[in-house]
């Protein structure tokens, strides 16, 4: 896409005007150093907090799935190639074909280069699979309600600068099936509550999802292990940046 090439060049030229950069994860810091090697400025990663509120007024509500009845897997993400929806749908179709009973809910805009993916979504829905795709604008409050009632959140992207939906899910007490790569692994390692998976391996993803759907005990253990404070607060984040001044 010529526009992407043009915008990327403008982006890198803009970055080169700064003395210090604070990428939002260690992974983003590594990639930034590669991108702008030899430019002569400092790159000091400061990981974002997993808390979304800067005033300390976080919601005390936590995921409240009753542990019986219909189980919903939730993926909040724009539909574009790096978000890896196609492999996720292949894994889900394998499980549905085995007779597993669950719903996959996709929330996010249609993104780009996704014509084949959207056709696959329509094919699965035509087969009667329990698949919901919400591409409308959804307020944060409604997204939070979806997270609060989900069995697991899913975030199996191929690459991210941070992985905000993982942090948002953990903050609300919802365990996550996430990629074992880059910044997503950073969040999972620090905060717990996650089952990590190679996002390129459909068989592994299928097996991990099967485990997640089958075991309420596993789910409870993951929920108990969540510690979103491990990534610090917004006060910690600001203090780290001010230290570099």
> DSSP labels for the chain?
-HHHHHHHHHHHHHHTT-SEE--SSHHHHHHHHHHTTTS--EE---PPPS---SSS----------SSS--EEEEES--SGGG-HHHHHHHHHHHHHHT---EEEEES---SS-HHHHHHHHHHHHTT--EEEE-S---HHHHHHHHHH-SEEEE--S--SS-HHHHHHHHTT--EEEESSHHHHHHHHHH--EEEE-TT-HHHHHHHHHHHHH-HHHHHHHHHH--GGGG--HHHHHHHHHHT-
Identify which has the larger pLDDT, 204 or 51: 204
pLDDT at residue 58 greater than cutoff 60? no
pLDDT band at 56 (very low <50, low <70, confident <90, very high): very low
- The percent of residues in the chain predicted with pLDDT above 70, rounded, is 91
Q: What is the pLDDT of residue 64?
A: 65
pLDDT in tens, 139-194: 999 999 999 999 999 999 999 999 999 999 999 999 999 999 999 999 999 999 99
Query: Over the chain, what is the mean pLDDT?
Result: 90
- Write phi, then psi, for 188 (nearest 5 degrees): -65, -45
pTM for this structure? 0.90
Q: pLDDT tens digits for 6-49?
A: 788 888 788 878 888 999 999 999 998 888 877 777 899 999 99
CA 46 to chain centre: 19
State residue 81's pLDDT score.
92
pLDDT value for 45? 93
CB 179 within 8 A of CB 199: yes
pLDDT at residue 112, rounded to an integer? 85
**Residue with the larger pLDDT of the pair 64 and 43:** 43
Q: Where do we find the tokens 């880059």?
A: 182
Least confident of 158-162, 200-204, 230-234: 230-234
């Amino acid at each position: 896409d010529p526009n992407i090439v043009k915008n990327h060049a403008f982006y890198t030229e803009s970055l080169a005007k700064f003395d210090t950069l604070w990428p939002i994860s260690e992974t983003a810091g590594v990639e930034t150093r590669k991108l702008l090697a030899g430019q002569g400025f400092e790159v000091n990663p400061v990981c974002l907090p997993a808390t979304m509120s800067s005033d300390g007024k976080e919601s005390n509500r936590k995921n409240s799935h009753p542990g019986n009845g219909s189980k919903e897997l939730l993926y909040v993400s724009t539909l574009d190639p790096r978000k890896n929806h196609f492999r996720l749908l292949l894994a889900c179709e394998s499980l549905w074909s085995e007779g597993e009973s669950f719903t996959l809910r996709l929330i996010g805009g249609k993104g780009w280069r996704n014509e084949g993916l959207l056709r696959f979504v329509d094919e699965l829905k035509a087969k009667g699979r329990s698949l919901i795709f919400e591409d409308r604008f959804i307020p944060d409050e409604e997204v939070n309600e979806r997270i609060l009632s989900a069995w697991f959140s899913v975030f199996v992207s191929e690459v991210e600068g941070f992985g905000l939906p993982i942090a948002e899910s953990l903050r609300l007490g919802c365990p996550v099936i996430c990629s074992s790569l880059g910044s997503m692994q950073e969040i999972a390692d620090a905060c717990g509550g996650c089952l990590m998976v190679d996002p390129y391996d459909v068989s592994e993803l299928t097996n991990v999802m099967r485990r997640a759907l089958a075991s309420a005990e596993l789910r409870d253990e993951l929920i108990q292990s969540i510690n979103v404070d491990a990534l610090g607060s917004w006060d910690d984040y600001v203090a780290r940046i001010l230290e570099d001044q």
